[in-house]
Amino acid sequence: MIRLLLTGFFVLLSCSIAIAQNTPMQAVLQDHSDLIVKSSRKTIAPAIAGITESGLPQAQDVLQSWQGKSMWQRKSDGLFFRAEKLDSKTYQLHDFDSGDTVGTFPKSELKQIKPNSGIRALIGASLVKFQLNDPDPERRRAALISIQRNPSAAVLEPLRASISSEADAGLKAMKFRAEQLLTISYGTNQAARIRAIEHMAGDLGVDARATLSRLLETRTDVFANAPPDTANVARVLRVGETITTAAAYQLLVDRALAPPLISSNDIRLSLTQHVADDKVGGVSVETLAQPEQRQRAYSALVDEGLAAPAPTQAEMGASLSQFVFAELYGEPSKQVTQAAEKAMQSTELNVGVNQAVDLALDGVSLASIYFLAAIGLAITFGVMGVINMAHGEFIMMGAYTGYVVQQVIPNHTVSIIVAIPLAFAITFAAGVAMERLVIRWLYNRPLETLLATFGVSIALQQLAKNIFGTQARPLTAPAWLDGAWVLNDVVSISYIRIAIFVLAIGFLALFLFIMRRTRLGLETRAVTQNPSMAASMGINPNRVNMLTFGLGSGIAGVAGVAIGLFAKVTSELGSDYIVQSFMTVVVGGVGNIWGTLFGAAMIGFMQKGIEWLNPSNTLAAQTFMIVFIIIFIQFRPRGIIALKGRAAGD
């Protein structure tokens, strides 16, 4: 009975093996079994091609399993399966054709197929054919991204064939662009390559510019008479003009067309090898430290035939005159390089225009920051005539307020919404207190005001150090402000900068509303233009000064929250912006909000422009900017828009 059961078991096992061997994909794998097991990059191509070109729906699953090292071979019968690890010693096998679970086997009965990186790259190229037509659009997108990162000639035809059937408009455009770039680099039809180059002319993508640049790469070569007609010559070089004499001669030496130059190291080595009785070439070793003695000893070795003579200038010139030097394109087709040069000119022009736009956006961004930092100073200094050296510390107080709020409210969006009015309230109160305790006693005494507020500035910085320490504190922007608004590969601006620009415009509108539509604004303008007349009309100048100073300080606190989102929040934060704030107000015209806006724009654009001309030295940019402002003030001492009244000194 037992013999009968065993016989039946082996019959069933042999039948299952036979069925597995006869299934379509397993048959393909068995045809290339030796190559798959060997896993040699040099011989694996037929196996990959056999699976790819089988036309079977299981081909993609097999290639992905193979690439992911999850394809195993059962030692007992040599069949291949996709394996799933259950524990360190047990694997569950799945049939490639049916997808059914074959069973659970110990690791000792299986052999893992481990493709190296070269084989995985070949498999990846073959998988593109399937991934580009995958029903899942995300997989198609991932395949396109993979092609963009690792372009190759092998993926050109599968990519080209997948374009017509692509239903997603965005992916279709991506496929077409990738196909154009691959055609430029790997296409075999010259006319198609030229059409693709013309289509990509002016494209701002880094990949497009890199593709065109590769076509225009050159190498320097040397010829006995002239470059052959078949060579794609970029230009013929003139020795001493477009190529240095040393570089040209070294090229001849590298090609064994001229004797090599003798370096000081060569001389030292030759002298060392021929020292005898503390002499070399009749010269004492003790005197070889002198250059003329070394040369004399080496010349003696040359005369004795023990060292190679150095070529003279005349000999070098004679050798160079016998050859022609030229730069050759790596691309053999002249028509292709001509089209690439024309396309590159269009691209460089487009890049230049967009760089100007990007520089302008940077200028607007910096101007927004300076305007936000200076708008409060425009009130206290421009309107009230108070030189407040502690204005920067109100900015610092606002930034620290935002930091403290974030410690209490972990939600960054809510914390910023709470921090802005709270920073305004705190710095408004601080400004009112400072005006009542210090400033009110020093009106019309600018030197004493400067010294007093400078002392307050130092005291506030030290207080911040005592409370928060000297280490920078983080003020984290909400997640929706992460990243940047990217227009193309050249132009982009961070969302934080955009938010600061919007905030600056908002405060400009708020300031104009207060000054033109509220009683405080009316009284402030009256006190600014003629404080004596305003007092005789029943306006309390002391109250107006207090509220105006508090308003300017409160706006500085809000500016601190905004600046803290991208700058380090330290006790010295305000000192980084106080100079620019004063320059903004003075250049724009003291006491005029529009002048402050124009001053911020001029300084922001000027600084970015100077930094663009000299990007390695931002300190030089600030120095040149200050020099320019000093010169500007000589011609317009009242700024861009002069204000009549107390602030203008009338």
pLDDT, tens digit, 9 for 90 and up, residues 429-456 = 999 999 889 888 887 787 888 889 889 9
* pLDDT value of position 9: 37
Pairwise CA distance, residues 474 & 55, whole Å: 58
CB 586 within 8 A of CB 377: no
Pairwise CA distance, residues 503 & 263, whole Å: 66
Q: What's the average model confidence in pLDDT over 97-119? A: 89
Helix (H) or strand (E) holding 103: strand 101-106
Tokens of 73: 């071979």
SS3 83: strand
Gyration radius of the chain's alpha carbons: 39
Q: What's the average model confidence in pLDDT over 118-129? A: 82
Tokens of 51: 């699976």
> Would the pLDDT of 422 be above 90?
yes
Smallest CA-to-CA distance from 28 within 11, 6, 8, 48 is with 48
Smallest CA-to-CA distance from 647 within 438, 387, 454, 440 is with 387
Residues shown for the chain:
650
For residue 454, the one-letter residue type is F
pLDDT band at 642 (very low <50, low <70, confident <90, very high): low
* pLDDT value of position 16: 39
Q: Mean pLDDT check: name the lowest of 144-148, 256-260, 501-505, 589-593.
A: 589-593
pLDDT band at 532 (very low <50, low <70, confident <90, very high): confident
* Predicted structure pTM score: 0.69
| Strand 233-237 with 80-87, pairing | unpaired
Specify which of 138-152, 368-382, 616-630 reaches the highest per-range mean pLDDT: 138-152
> Which positions ≥6 away from 311 have C-beta within 8 Å?
258, 259, 261, 319
Q: What's the average model confidence in pLDDT over 536-543? A: 83
pLDDT digits (tens, 9 = 90+) for 83-102: 998 888 899 999 988 888 98
SS3 528: helix
Q: What's the average model confidence in pLDDT over 509-525? A: 83
pLDDT digits (tens, 9 = 90+) for 155-175: 888 889 889 888 899 999 999
Tokens of 31: 């045809």
HEC secondary structure over 277-291: CCEECCEEHHHCCCH
* pLDDT value of position 312: 81
pLDDT band at 131 (very low <50, low <70, confident <90, very high): confident
SS3 494: strand
pLDDT digits (tens, 9 = 90+) for 290-344: 888 888 887 888 788 788 788 888 888 888 889 999 999 999 999 999 999 999 9
Pairwise CA distance, residues 394 & 415, whole Å: 19
Helix (H) or strand (E) holding 371: helix 334-377
For residue 504, the one-letter residue type is A
SS3 96: coil
Token pair 């984290």: residue? 476
Task: Quote the percentage of the chain above a pLDDT of 70.
Answer: 92
CB 199 within 8 A of CB 168: no
Mean pLDDT (the chain) is 84
SS3 15: helix
For residue 500, the one-letter residue type is I
For residue 211, the one-letter residue type is T
Pairwise CA distance, residues 384 & 431, whole Å: 13
pLDDT band at 648 (very low <50, low <70, confident <90, very high): very low
343 phi, psi to nearest 5 deg:
-65, -35
Task: Quote the percentage of the chain above a pLDDT of 90.
Answer: 25
> Would the pLDDT of 18 be above 60?
no
Compute CA distances 309 → 246, 289, 298, 302, whole Å.
Answer: 18, 21, 9, 6
* pLDDT value of position 1: 45
Compute CA distances 200 → 159, 303, 331, 537, 605, whole Å.
Answer: 18, 64, 18, 72, 32
- Per the DSSP assignment, residues forming a β-bridge with 329 are 218
CB 553 within 8 A of CB 427: yes
Tokens of 419: 């921090």
Task: Tell me the HSE value of 3 on the side-chain side, using a 13 A CA sphere.
Answer: 0
pLDDT digits (tens, 9 = 90+) for 199-246: 999 988 889 999 999 999 999 999 988 888 889 999 999 998 999 988
Smallest CA-to-CA distance from 184 within 171, 168, 200, 163 is with 200
